[in-house]
């Protein structure tokens, strides 16, 4: 098992290219199974979750070819004949549950294990299943597996997501575009990942009204064709590096290959810290302020502040000149990183779904342990800002969602290396 060894106190200066989005890529990969011909997806990041989902898709009988150096993925669904996603693969990542919508949507039946994923917080799949039942799909549970069956065409109807959910919106779209005569998803997620999936499905031949709004209406077609598509850049990776550029004194970062419009209100919040942020097309430049100002916030569904940047923001606030509060209204139990930051010297207190941060506190190197993907990167940020050396353990979480993280940080001056924990 690997760990990062980080010597903090170095300013970050230079250019970092932003990789393709993991969260956007996974729905596109699942959607490829709906086509009658192969799909090519470009700008696919080399991440543990991508490799895992490639294997989930291969189990179905599809051919998956990943040209890693070019970040190009080709999926040929012609020989899909095993309509099952097994526990030993699905438990490794929740997004494997998209196989339910993809398989029942194209083939009329599916057997998919209930998912695993990050260890924090309850994220049940009830909405996925209730939505499919409302659509007319027969759902049953058997020894930890979901069994879904549907006729060639079903009536559809409507279903309101309470609360709004990206995962459920994706699965209901996958299930309905070939099956439901008319199906409306109310309170649908509006995140860029969902918009990209909708546009991808339309390019394949789907009929979807209301793209980009909270009401999506699908009308089934008889066939979808594979397409050639480019995946969106990763807005969470982008936000993470923007925070790094603002947080670490003396830093000046240029981030390339960005889609600034997908950041929602994040950029406006970052500017309030005193950081200089300039946007020119697909390039964003961030310069750290002399004094970092405290900025409190609440996470919200898109276009509000993303829950996936909550841990990174709270980490930055440990270096702000004053007290701030960060409240997560999306997931209430996403503060496992706080005790680890306290070990580094942070002054933080969690009450229910709010963390209060008293800054500025000097951070001093220590050994800290990752518990989930975004918590892991927040510990790396803290280690970069800390005096002396730190160890960030269990970085396999990071490998799920950040492509070549240490290489990108080294290229802008960070003293970070990957070593075996033993």
Structure confidence by residue, pLDDT tens digits, 362-379 = 999 999 998 888 889 999
- The 3-state DSSP class for residue 387 equals strand
Is 118 noted as a catalytic residue in this protein? Answer: yes
Q: Which residues are annotated as a binding site for phosphoenolpyruvate?
A: 22-23
Between CA 128 and CA 116 the distance in angstroms is: 15
- Residue 402 has phi, psi (to 5 degrees) of -130, 115
What does the DSSP assignment read for 263-312?
GTTHHHHHHHTT-EEEEETTEEEEE--SSPPP--EEE-STTSB-GGGHHH
Cβ-in-10-Å burial (0-12, 13-18, 19+) of 421 comes to exposed
Residues that constitute the known binding site for UDP-N-acetyl-alpha-D-glucosamine: 94, 123-127, 308, 330
What are the tens digits of pLDDT across the range 40-55?
999 999 999 999 999 9
How confident is the model over 88-93, as a mean pLDDT? Answer: 85
Nearest alpha carbon to residue 147 among 169, 122, 174, 114: 114
Q: Quote the pLDDT of residue 370.
A: 86
pLDDT of 122 higher than 80: no
- Structure pTM? 0.94
Answer for the pair 318, 360: CB distance below 8 angstroms, yes or no. Answer: yes
- Is it the case that residue 67 has pLDDT exceeding 50? yes
pLDDT band of 95, cuts 50, 70, 90: confident
List, in order of start, the domains of the chain with CATH numbers: 2-17+234-420 (3.65.10.10), 25-225 (3.65.10.10)
Spatial distance between the Cα atoms of 419 and 305, rounded to a whole number of angstroms: 34
Q: Which of 86-100, 154-168, 207-221, 340-354 has the lowest mean pLDDT?
A: 86-100
Of 118, 175, 247, 275, the catalytic one is 118
Mean of per-residue pLDDT scores for the chain: 95
pLDDT tens digit sequence for 300-336? 999 999 999 999 999 999 999 999 999 999 888 889 9
User: What pLDDT, on the 0 to 100 scale, is given for residue 144?
Assistant: 87
Q: Is the pLDDT of residue 186 over 50?
A: yes
The DSSP code for 29 is H
Please tell me whether the peptide bond between 163 and the residue prior to it is cis, using omega within 30 degrees of 0. yes
The two three-digit tokens of residue 409, written as one number:
């940080």
How many angstroms separate the CA atoms of 307 and 123, rounded?
A: 14
**Distance between CA atoms of 257 and 246, rounded to whole angstroms?**
19
Q: Which residue has the tokens 């990209």?
A: 196
pLDDT at 121 over 50: no
What distance in Å separates the CA atoms of residue 384 and residue 248, rounded to the nearest whole number?
A: 7
Q: Stretch 26-33: mean pLDDT, rounded?
A: 98
List the beta strands (DSSP E) in 231-275: 252-256
Query: What's the pLDDT at 153?
Result: 95
CA–CA dist 139, 222 (Å, integer):
23
Question: What are the strands of the beta sheet with 252-256, ordered from one edge?
Answer: 13-17, 252-256, 283-287, 276-280
- Whether omega before 303 lies within 30 degrees of 0, making that bond cis, reads yes
Say what percent of the chain tops pLDDT 70.
98
Place of tokens 């240029």: 254
Percent composition of the chain: helix, strand, coil (DSSP 3-state, to 5): 35, 30, 35
Which pLDDT value is given to residue 120?
34
The token pair that represents 315 in the structure block: 């980490």
Is the pLDDT reported for residue 185 higher than 90?
yes
């Amino acid at each position: 098992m690997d760990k990062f060894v980080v010597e903090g106190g170095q300013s970050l200066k230079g250019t970092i290219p932003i990789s393709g989005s993991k969260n956007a890529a996974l729905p596109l990969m699942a959607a490829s199974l709906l086509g009658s011909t192969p799909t090519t997806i470009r700008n696919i990041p080399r991440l543990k979750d991508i490799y895992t989902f490639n294997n989930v898709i291969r189990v179905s009988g599809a051919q998956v070819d990943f040209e890693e150096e070019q970040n190009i993925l080709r999926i040929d669904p012609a020989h899909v004949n095993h309509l099952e996603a097994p526990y030993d693969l699905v438990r490794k990542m929740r997004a494997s549950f998209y196989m339910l919508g993809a398989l029942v949507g194209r083939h009329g039946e599916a057997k998919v294990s209930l998912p695993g994923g990050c260890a924090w917080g309850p994220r049940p799949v009830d909405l996925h299943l209730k939505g499919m039942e409302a659509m007319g799909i027969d759902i049953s549970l058997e020894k930890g597996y979901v069994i879904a069956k549907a006729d060639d065409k079903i009536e559809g109807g409507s279903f309101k997501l309470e609360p709004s959910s990206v995962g459920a919106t994706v699965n209901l779209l996958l299930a309905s575009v070939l099956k439901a005569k008319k199906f409306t998803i109310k309170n649908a997620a509006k995140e860029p990942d969902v918009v990209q999936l909708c546009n991808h499905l339309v390019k394949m031949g789907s009929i979807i009204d209301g793209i980009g709004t909270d009401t999506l209406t699908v009308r089934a077609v008889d066939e979808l064709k594979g397409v050639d598509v480019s995946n969106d850049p990763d807005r969470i990776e982008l936000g993470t590096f923007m925070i790094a550029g603002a947080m670490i004194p003396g830093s000046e970062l240029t981030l390339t290959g960005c889609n600034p419009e997908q950041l929602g209100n994040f950029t406006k919040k970052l500017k309030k810290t005193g950081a200089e942020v300039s946007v020119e097309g697909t390039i964003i430049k961030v310069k750290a302020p002399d004094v970092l100002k405290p900025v409190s916030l609440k996470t919200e569904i898109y276009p509000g502040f993303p829950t996936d940047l909550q841990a990174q923001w709270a980490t930055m606030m440990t270096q702000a000149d004053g007290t701030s509060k960060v409240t997560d209204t999306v997931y209430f139990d996403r503060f496992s990183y706080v005790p680890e930051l306290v070990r580094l010297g942070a002054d933080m207190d969690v009450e229910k779904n709010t963390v209060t941060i008293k800054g500025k506190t000097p951070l001093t190197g220590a050994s800290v342990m990752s518990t989930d993907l975004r918590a892991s990167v927040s510990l790396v940020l803290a280690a970069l800002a800390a005096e002396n050396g730190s160890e960030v353990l269990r970085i396999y979480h990071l490998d799920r969602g950040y492509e070549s993280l240490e290489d990108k940080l080294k290229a802008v001056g960070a003293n970070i290396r990957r070593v075996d924990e033993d």
